[in-house]
Amino acid sequence: MKPQRQISVGIFSAPAVRMHFLQAVTCAGCRYEGRYEARWQAGKILFDGQLRDEWVFTPVATPTEGFSPAVFDLSDVVIGVDFHWQRKEVQRFAGALKLIVEGERITAVNLIGIEDYLRSVISSEMKATASPEFLKAHAVISRSWLLAQIERRGKVPVGRPEFVETEDTLIRWADREDHLHFDVCADDHCQRYQGLSRLRATRADEAVLATWGQVLTLDGALCDTRFSKCCGGMTERFSTCWENRDYPYLAPVADRPADGGPDFCDTADEAVLSQVLNDYDLETKDFYRWRVAYDRHALAELIRRRSGIDFGDEIRALEPLERGASGRIWLLRIVGSQRTMTVGKELTIRRWLSESHLKSSAFEVSQEGDRLVLTGRGWGHGVGLCQIGAAVMGHRGYPYTAILAHYFPGSELSVQ
């Protein structure tokens, strides 16, 4: 078992952070164990009667091999930020804890080995009781994506989203604009990472051990292995969602067997879904096909609140202008009684048309009386691996190598 590369994960930000050290940690020459609280004060962090710019709490006992044990709990960790399942949890973590100042808040950052991180990710993105081959596939793509982001961070400036803005057009996409002080965040913006809180089975550990260090590459370069909950029958190109470039291994893929048959992600099999979806995901089962209807006046008010732009007292039409291969809209004309604008890309469209996030931008628009009806497919951006589809493949006995080859055509499995 090789040593683990260390990474930094931003967990959450708040005016105060409550923590419980389950084993002894050291910081600034002092030893701590038990329950403590740190508070933001005058641009610094107040802890143990001292004001500092940052605090780093390192466990006294550090394992030399294998996975790391639990070290600390954090209270009131927010998950599902801005989604309909947003809530607070107590979460447990291995590794070290770093507290930094960001604005008028404290950000808790977990310093953790990448393989320790991955055993949590594949238990947080889905349940650790999912099929072993699906968990192995997800361990590989989560590792590949993370390392690709870290590598990209050293080459591409971060700090703001990209956008094109004129009087009647707003095309905006965002990827890494939030993370100047750590490698990745712990929520859906990056990959769900909820510490050791959902490690209830050995399968996650076995999947990480079986794929230790494995990544997907193309011509020796790391693949930017994206994934979403449900593609709806066809995966999407990178450029539909983010910058105007594409990758051969993120080509659109029909999510069905090579010899035909229904889409992999078209399933209502509770035996599959209960293994793949965490409890809050099971609150939303219409992931393959869905439908929402809006009163025109209510929709105008919703878009005004979500976008900050007043289109008038009613929305008269939603007109798709450009779609990706999966049918996901990346340019949408919104016609209001007072103003008309063209907006994109897909995440902006999803944010403006929902109190949290519309399931996807792959929808058709129709009229029912005074209502606009969106009939859609899929859940998420649809790029790369379809989690529901991959779970079905694993359940049917496909090896993880076949799952990876299906969703990332032309990629190669390598070890770093």
Following DSSP, what letter does each residue of 274-300 receive, concatenated?
A: HHHS-TTTTT----SEEEEEEEHHHHH
| Residues 6+ positions from 398 with CB-CB distance below 8 Å | 133, 406
pLDDT in tens, 279-293: 655 556 688 999 999
pLDDT in tens, 347-378: 999 999 998 789 999 999 999 998 999 999 99
Bridge partners, 214 (sequence order): 415
Strand, helix or coil for residue 246: coil
Q: If you search the block for the tokens 């450009």, which residue do you land on? A: 322
Contact 276, 393 (CB under 8 A): no
Bridge partners, 8 (sequence order): 111
Is residue 192 over pLDDT 90? no
Question: What is the model's pLDDT at position 154?
Answer: 64
Q: Structure pTM?
A: 0.89
The Cα 378–Cα 278 span in angstroms is 18
Is residue 178 over pLDDT 60? no
The Cα 226–Cα 411 span in angstroms is 13
Contact 25, 71 (CB under 8 A): yes
Average pLDDT, the chain: 90
Question: What is the model's pLDDT at position 323?
Answer: 98
pLDDT in tens, 139-164: 999 999 999 988 887 666 555 567 88
Nearest-CA neighbor of 107 among 14, 8, 6? 14
